[in-house]
A and B are shown apart, each in its own frame.
Chain A
Amino acid sequence: MTDPDAELLSRFRAGDEQAFVELVARHHTTMLRLAQSFVASRAIAEEVAQDAWLAALRGIGGFAGRSTFRTWLFAILANRARTTGMREHRTTPLESPEPAVDPARFGAGGMWTSPPVDWTDAAAERLDAQALATALQSALDGLPPRQRQVVLLRDVDGLSSEEVCEVLELSEANQRVLLHRGRSHLRTTLEANFGAR
């Protein structure tokens, strides 16, 4: 596995402050968003993310490169955020199963009666790009926490399913179920907002 952070990592370990700040710039937003999915407020999430960076600095000697740096880093963050969230008595309930597409859109035989409405042209139009991104971001923010965590890491940040399982302590199957529900939600939002009927 090649680690995209390997170069910055070795520079910062050798004493290069700028390399460390670059690593922070690369990962801090994801860490903040991930923290926010576990704890009640933005302020607490910021505290947790800062603490995680300090813990990463102090623990860097123990990072052996068995996983990628970001997997190791995000796992530190997730553990801290989870503990903080539990102290706040903020539980993330198991989300009840729900279909990817409203069952009312299929007939008795399971074939589409109300087929997907096209919106992908809107995505291609430059004019709509910003509106699309805004709608997508708020749909992502509105996902149940566990779906949001997986979509954030897999689709926004580009981690592999293996990395996500390690960070969030999920089985591969559960990870995929959460990803599937999250992505399906996002598609439905785009269709509802931008579908040309």
Chain B
Amino acid sequence: MPLRLRRQPDLVCQQIVELVTDYLDGALPRADRGRFERHLAGCPQCTAYLAQMRETIRLTGRLRVADLSPAMRADFGELYRGWRAEAT
């Protein structure tokens, strides 16, 4: 008697969009990862969606932080000297 593997039903697009973050974080169980990738292989829309999420993350990572003003640098230098004086 051959072992029968019960195959999980395929994922639909609406489920894919909820699994994207888990997928990108490597947090999907192996079986789900396989189902996710099988869906992508046959679905250009979800492939585009995943690419958009990756692009969103990339752009968010480029929202660089403002530099510290010279006045604030001076303030923090003073904070540091105060701490040194207090520590010794």
Residues of A within 8 A of B73 (CB): 21, 24-25
Residues of B at under 8 Å CB distance from A? 12-15, 17-18, 20-22, 25, 27, 45-46, 48-49, 51-53, 55-57, 59-63, 65-68, 72-73, 76-77, 79-81, 83-84, 86
Q: Which residues of A contact B81 (CB under 8 A)?
A: 17
Q: Top 4 closest A-B pairs, CB basis?
A: A110-B12, A29-B65, A180-B21, A110-B14
A–B pairs, 16, beta carbons within 8 Å: A17-B81, A20-B76, A28-B72, A54-B79, A99-B18, A101-B17, A106-B14, A110-B13, A123-B55, A123-B59, A136-B60, A137-B63, A155-B60, A156-B63, A183-B57, A190-B56
Q: Is A79 an interface residue (CB 8 A)?
A: no
Asked if B68 and A28 make an inter-chain contact with CB atoms under 8 angstroms apart, the answer reads: yes
In the bound complex, CA of A112 to CA of B45 (Å): 8
Q: How far is the CA of A54 from the CA of B80 in the complex (A)?
A: 8
Question: Which chain B positions have C-beta within 8 A of A118?
Answer: 48, 52
Contacts A99-B18, A140-B63, A186-B60 given; does A115 touch B48 at CB 8 Å: yes
Known: A109-B12, A120-B51. Is A133-B62 also a contact (CB below 8 A)? Answer: yes
* Given A15-B84, A30-B65; A21-B76 close (CB under 8 Å): yes
Q: Is the CB of A115 within 8 A of B45?
A: yes
Asked if A57 is at the interface of the complex by the 8 Å CB criterion, the answer is: yes
Complex contact B65–A187 (CB within 8 A) = no
**What is the number of residues of chain A that contact chain B, defined by CB distance less than 8 Å?**
51
Binding site for B on A (CB under 8 A): 12, 15, 17, 20-21, 24-25, 28-30, 50, 53-54, 57-58, 99-101, 103, 106, 109-112, 115-116, 118-120, 123, 132-133, 136-137, 140, 151, 155-158, 161, 172, 176, 179-180, 183-184, 186-187, 190-191
Query: In the complex, A116→B59 CA distance in Å?
Result: 18
CB closest residue in chain A, given B51: A120
Are A176 and B22 in contact (CB-based, < 8 A)?
A: yes
Smallest beta-carbon distance B23→chain A, Å: 10
The answer to whether A111 and B79 have CB atoms under 8 Å apart is no
A18 → chain B, closest Cβ, in Å? 8
Q: Which residues of A lie under 8 Å from residue B68 when comparing CB positions? A: 21, 24-25, 28
